[in-house]
Amino acid sequence: MSGRDVTGGDVAHASARDRRRARRHGRQRTWPAFWVFVGPFLAGLILFTFLPIVWSAVLSFFDAHNTVTPTRFVGLANYVDMLTNSDFLASLGTFSVFAVFIVPTTVAISLGLALLVHRLRFARAFFRSVFFLPAACSYVVAALIWKLSIFNGVRFGLANTVLGLFDVDQVPWLSSASPPWYWVALVTLRLWLQVGFYMVLFLAGLQRIPGELYEAAYVDGAKPGWQVFRYITLPQLRATTVAVVLLNLIAAYQAFDEFYNLMSSARGYPPFARPPLVYLYFTALGQGQDFGHGSAGAVILALLIGIVTVLQGKLFGFGRRD
Amino acid sequence: MRKPNGLSRRGVLAGAAGLVATGALAACGSNTGRGSSGGGSGPTIAQWYHQYGEAGVEQAVKRYAKAYSKANVQVQWTAGDYDTKLATALVGSGGPDVFEQSVAKVDQVRAHQLADLTDVFGAAKDDFTPAVLDAQTVDGKIYGIPQAIDMQMLFYRKSWLAKAGVSAPTTLAELASAAKKLTNKKVKGLFLGNDGGAGVLGAVPLWSIGQGYLSEDQRKVGFEAEAAAPVFAALRTMYSSGSLLLGAPADWSDPSAFTQGLTAMQWSGLWAVPVVQKALGNDFGVVAWPKGDDSGKPSVPIGAYASTVNAKSRHVDAAKAFAKWLWIDKTGYQRDFDLSYGFHIPARTSIAAKADKLSSGAGKDAVDLVQRYGKVQATPGWTSPMNTAYTDALNNIIRKGSNPESELKTAIGKIDKQLRTLYK
């Protein structure tokens, strides 16, 4: 027995050892495959994302005109310059105007569309696709369509043709800063491109609300419509709404394509429609080639986005268990 | 173990690795224009051009490059924002060896981006139009070989002006009045670009009242806010009067708004003459920008793209030799480049004097305007940040209606700060 036990024990030990060895061997055999697939992307990430971020942070403490090699250490001077630069601060002001327009409007329209599509009894997939489709369009292409076909300032532009039917004179949509008609083009473009995406997020949120809650509400006497929406749907969508607001706000900070492509002319770009990324582009990557100040501005902007995100998370309890 | 379809795991992995490596290599390659299909032997040098609108120019410059035997010259034709792309490329090591730009800027020279070309001119130096050579000269050294002179002027539709009882404007007040009279439900009186001229007019309004961007020695601001404010206020009045065409599908440099009958007058350039002639025959005339007040003169901005050598090039001497060969030794190429495709004035006076296209009609009028009023707009001391400060002020005044005097004072402050940085 004991011999069998011993043998059995040996066998058990041996098989455990074999399994461990096999696992180790398996891991050893899969490591090369892992690195073949992950390595190039990791290298790309380090080379094209992390290294530039670190390099940019380093450059922000140096004078670097017409060069990406640090030349003269200037300490925090670039940061002080940027924080006292009226143009950079004005660009933050432009962002604020944009965010005030775009964030609540996007949330309202995408939530409205989600509610409509969610309750559809037929062709639900068709309407979801129709509203989501613009999200697949490039900002640059959409901006060109907006600029050349819809909101050009001549009599045969789409918007002016419609106005012409009501005997309204041509409106120079993108040229006029007083009144600032260019905001109509900027806001409608982004709305068209992004409400479909956020509608899908809200749809996912709506589908997660248990039907029993509505049934219980009706049993308790809640009236279908606003009352149910106010006391059941909206609170249940809190996490989704906070996420949508957060993503919207970050996207508004990063606005570049539609501003640049709609507002630039052959010889320049107006200062009154210059959000932070466009301003930093002209400072660092445009003909300004001032990488020291540009990098300081980028760091300030990144910190600002981080602070706003954290504050918003604290305020609305993003990520907190319901 | 080999799979039934004949692909082993190792084979799949190797293939995937190969694909990834190929993709990574393709993605990493920055296109500097250097390739393998050049015409000559010797080093391979990259030459950059911005995109010219005239048909045939691209083929012509590639033909010149192919004819050069001492180096393998690869031409890169750049559509879109050439100036920004060039500025970015010159910062790194992947920039072109030879490239064109309209002015050698002081900050580029300070950053050691431009090679000194003074020694390549020799006796030919006196044959170049002095004003455009000055635009390439910093501290007595020449950094670019001018290729072609371009100029801007005001096109007007003769028959439409005659019908409205308006003559070609000679003062800013006349221009505003003519624009108003020529405006009706279908046609606007004047097109100065989709931004109302804020971007393109540049120094022109200052010249029209006897001022300029910078002082003669390029070290001080050349205009005063109080004196310059009225002319910009007049531009704002014109902008808000409803007589300017705004938001045209093509901007000021393209004459299509003028040829399609969207506007009676348009600010554009010499290059547009062939297209306008083809569309309107002789029913158009050209004049200079009218004077702003009695202290100013009619204004004609001129500029010239010049061939420049990247000081960081690995083949500086070869690049200099090629630039000399192309734009100094081979005078026939400059004649072909300037006169066979579009409409440019050759930078060399000996070639310009023999140009038939410039001896009659609108071409002759344009040359006369250049000789009487032509001034180089972009000078070496006028850097990009200064230009941004100035055009920001113009945008705010003309398009937003901001106070001209305070906007110009802000611009002067920024320009002055730049000047102090440059000459500290």
Please tell me the CATH superfamily of domain B152-301+383-422, with its number. Answer: Periplasmic binding protein-like II (3.40.190.10)
Q: What is the pLDDT of residues B396-423, one digit of tens each?
A: 999 999 999 999 999 999 999 989 988 8
Provide the chain B residues 165-194 that lie in CB contact (below 8 A) with chain A.
186, 193-194
Read off the tokens for A182.
């260019």
Least CB-CB distance to A154: which of B9, B92, B249?
B249
User: SS3 for B142?
Assistant: strand
User: How much is the ipTM here?
Assistant: 0.76
Looking at CA atoms only, how far is residue B369 from chain A in angstroms? 23
Q: Is B410 left (phi over 0), alpha (psi -120 to 50) or beta?
A: alpha
Contact A272 B400 (CB under 8 A): yes
Chain-chain contact of B111 with A268 (C-beta, under 8 angstroms):
no
Chain A residues with CB under 8 Å of a chain B CB are 32-33, 36-37, 40, 43-44, 65-68, 87, 148, 151-155, 157, 169-170, 172-178, 265-268, 270-272, 282, 285-291
Nearest C-alpha neighbor of B379 from the set B105, B126, B148, B156? B105
Substitution target in B194, B204, B244, B263 with the highest count of A β-carbons within 10 Å is: B194
The answer to whether B391 contacts A268, with C-beta atoms less than 8 Å apart, is: yes
**Is B411 part of the contact surface with chain A (CB cutoff 8 Å)?**
no
Kindly determine whether residue B391 and residue A266, on different chains, have CB atoms separated by under 8 Å.
no
Quick check: B24 and A87 CB within 8 A? no
Residue range A82-316 forms a domain whose CATH class is mainly alpha
Q: Which residues pair with B188 in a beta bridge?
A: B263
Interaxial angle between packed helices A238-253 and A86-118, expressed in degrees from 0 to 180 and rounded to the nearest 10: 140
| A66 to B249: CB separation less than 8 angstroms, yes or no | no
Q: pTM above 0.90?
A: no
Determine the pLDDT at residue B98.
Answer: 97
From residue A14, give the alpha-carbon distance in Å to each of A1, A19, B368, B408: 19, 8, 101, 88
Which CATH superfamily, name and number, covers B2-147+304-376? Periplasmic binding protein-like II (3.40.190.10)
Residue A34 backbone dihedrals phi, psi, to 5 degrees: -55, -50
Residues in chain A with CB shorter than 8 Å from the CB of B246 are: 153, 172, 175-176
**With 0-12 CB in 10 A as exposed, 13-18 as middle and 19+ as buried, what is B360?**
exposed
A288: helix, coil or strand? coil
**Which chain A residue has its CA at the smallest distance from B21's CA?**
A40
Q: State the pLDDT at residue B84.
A: 83
The tens-digit pLDDT sequence of chain A (322 residues) is 344 444 555 666 667 777 777 777 776 778 888 899 999 999 999 999 999 999 999 999 999 888 888 888 999 999 999 999 999 999 999 998 899 899 999 999 999 999 999 888 888 888 888 899 999 999 999 999 999 899 988 888 899 999 989 988 889 899 888 889 999 999 999 999 999 999 999 999 999 999 899 899 888 888 888 888 888 999 999 889 989 998 999 899 889 999 999 998 767 789 999 999 999 998 887 767 889 999 999 999 999 988 988 888 788 766 565 5
pLDDT of residue A276: 93
Of A33, A43, A172, the CB nearest to B13: A33
The residue ranges of every structural domain in chain B are 2-147+304-376, 152-301+383-422
CA distance A30 to A16: 21
The tens digit of pLDDT for each residue in B344-368 reads 899 998 888 888 878 888 888 888 8
Please tell me the predicted confidence (pLDDT) of residue B296: 86
Domain spans of chain A, in order of start: 82-316
Using an 8 Å CB-CB cutoff, list chain B residues near A176: 246, 399
Question: Which residue ranges in chain B fall short of pLDDT 70?
Answer: 1-40
Nearest Cβ partner for A66 among B84, B107, B251: B107
